[in-house]
Homo-oligomer: A and B are copies of this chain.
Amino acid sequence: MPNNPKTRDITTPTARRLTEYLLILEELMERSVTVVSSKELAEAFGNTPSQVRQDLFRLSETGRVGQGYSTGTLARSIRETLGTHIAKNLVIVGCGMVGRAIAAHVPFDRYGLNLIGMFDINPNIIGETIENLPVSPIEDLGDFIERRDVLIASLSVPTLVAQEMTDKLVARGVRGVLNFTRARLKLPANVSVVNSQMICQFTRLGFMIDHFDTVGHKEKSE
Q: Are A199 and B15 in contact (CB under 8 A)?
A: no
- Stoichiometry, as copies per complex, reads 2
Q: Are B196 and A218 in contact (CB under 8 A)?
A: no
Q: Are B183 and A205 in contact (CB under 8 A)?
A: no
Q: Are B209 and A152 in contact (CB under 8 A)?
A: yes
Q: Which of B84, B106, B199, B218 lies in contact with A198, CB distance below 8 A? A: B106
Q: Are B101 and A200 in contact (CB under 8 A)?
A: no
Q: Are B189 and A218 in contact (CB under 8 A)?
A: yes
* CB proximity to B under 8 Å, residues A68-112: 82-84, 86, 88, 90, 96-98, 100-102, 104-108, 110-112
Q: Are A202 and B111 in contact (CB under 8 A)?
A: yes
* CB proximity to B under 8 Å, residues A200-222: 200-222
- Which chain B residues lie closer than 8 Å to A209 at the CB level? 88, 151-152, 175-176, 192
Nearest-CB residue, chain B, relative to A88: B206
* CB proximity to B under 8 Å, residues A151-201: 151-152, 154, 175-178, 182-184, 187, 189-201
Query: CA of A44 to CA of B205 in the docked complex: distance in angstroms?
Result: 24
A148 within 8 Å of B by Cβ?
Answer: no
Query: CA of A90 to CA of B191 in the docked complex: distance in angstroms?
Result: 36
- Which chain B residues lie closer than 8 Å to A191 at the CB level? 218
Query: CA of A213 to CA of B2 in the docked complex: distance in angstroms?
Result: 10
Q: Are A194 and B222 in contact (CB under 8 A)?
A: yes
* CB proximity to B under 8 Å, residues A19-49: 19-20, 22-24, 27, 44-46
* Interface residue ranges, A against B (CB under 8 Å): 1-2, 7-8, 10, 12, 15-16, 19-20, 22-24, 27, 44-46, 82-84, 86, 88, 90, 96-98, 100-102, 104-108, 110-113, 151-152, 154, 175-178, 182-184, 187, 189-222
Beyond contacts A8-B214, A96-B101, A200-B222: 10 other A-B pairs, Cβ-Cβ < 8 A, are: A1-B211, A7-B214, A8-B211, A10-B215, A12-B215, A15-B208, A23-B200, A86-B206, A97-B100, A197-B221
